[in-house]
Structure 1
Amino acid sequence: MNRRHGSVVPVEAPYDDRLLHQRVVGGDESALGEVYDRLSPLIFGLSLRVTRDRLIAEDITQEVFLLFWERPLAYDPDRGTLRAWLATIAHRRAVDHVRAEERRRVSAIGPRLFEREPVRLEDTVLAADEAERVRQAVSALPDGLREAVELAYFGGRTYRQVGEELGVPEGTAKSRIRLALRRLAGALAEEEV
């Protein structure tokens, strides 16, 4: 809707949007494919910018187009373009996801903030000792395995990112990490950690 001199003026969607919309309302899957081909990069990019997570952005993109397919009459071509309508839905879903994740994270941390149980000195000493043993076991790994594990677990990198940083294929990075974890498990089991 546009405002002109205090009144609301409807914004009509382009003829192309109207035609595609009518075809989707009629159950034409190829029309949905055309809309998807044209607008999915926008919807995915918008979702990715908000969530910063490729998998979540892919899910949101799929949800938006599924909603359009299942409820095409929810879109009103007289109120704006299909592009704007789908982008608005994607943005709302992405923001909802981010907010839900934040609530989940806070609710998981929140109860621990108010625990009244005192920390026992022996638990603190044992935890520090175990952490030191893990650090020693990691430092004893061969360079390629150590670097891969440090990037993945201490640096928070994905397999792909580890591969890029080490200059190796993603599969090689994954293999190095798995081998390193097996070796660490063996070494720490010997020490009963």
Structure 2
Amino acid sequence: MAVDECEPLEALMPLIQGGDAAAFERLYDATAPQVLGLITQILRDRAQAEEVTQELFIELWQHAAEYDPARGSAKSWILRRARMRAIDRLRSVLSTLHRDDREAFLIASATVESVENQALNNVERRGIREALDLVGEPHKTAILLAYFGGLTQAELARTTGVPLGTAKTRVRDGLRKLEKILVQRRLAPQEGGTP
């Protein structure tokens, strides 16, 4: 049973905090599709996204008392927790991969490909990866984490242990370098006929 317009999520939260399973079911029905969509967008893996979504709703049930309406809407509280859980899972997956495989994983999971575009995307991806290698550190890592890892600039700063301004500068300067390299590569044919 979905939440109707007369029953905002905020009205369900006190019931859920009191252990009302029916209210939690209505909250789940109203928010699960958007939560799953957000988590899938971050992880790019439907099976893992479903698992994280299930874990999140168990967590929401067990920690419903942590919701404070003075700090924001119930929906924003749920989506913020969903995003944090998805990023935690992404970091966990990335930490188990070999360093060289991390970049390939991030680049490969950046887009959902159609069969027709797969070959073209592979060529483009290889070109972008080669260009990213030329961008150099620390800009390369900043771009990968921000654009392919889904981190906000503040999360990027925390993850890399640098001030927010430095994180922003690394991304901006890295994107400028990447753009310059990609433009140069399109204007000048590469050795061996590779575009």
TM-score of the two chains, using structure 1 as the length reference: 0.47
Higher CA-based Rg: 1
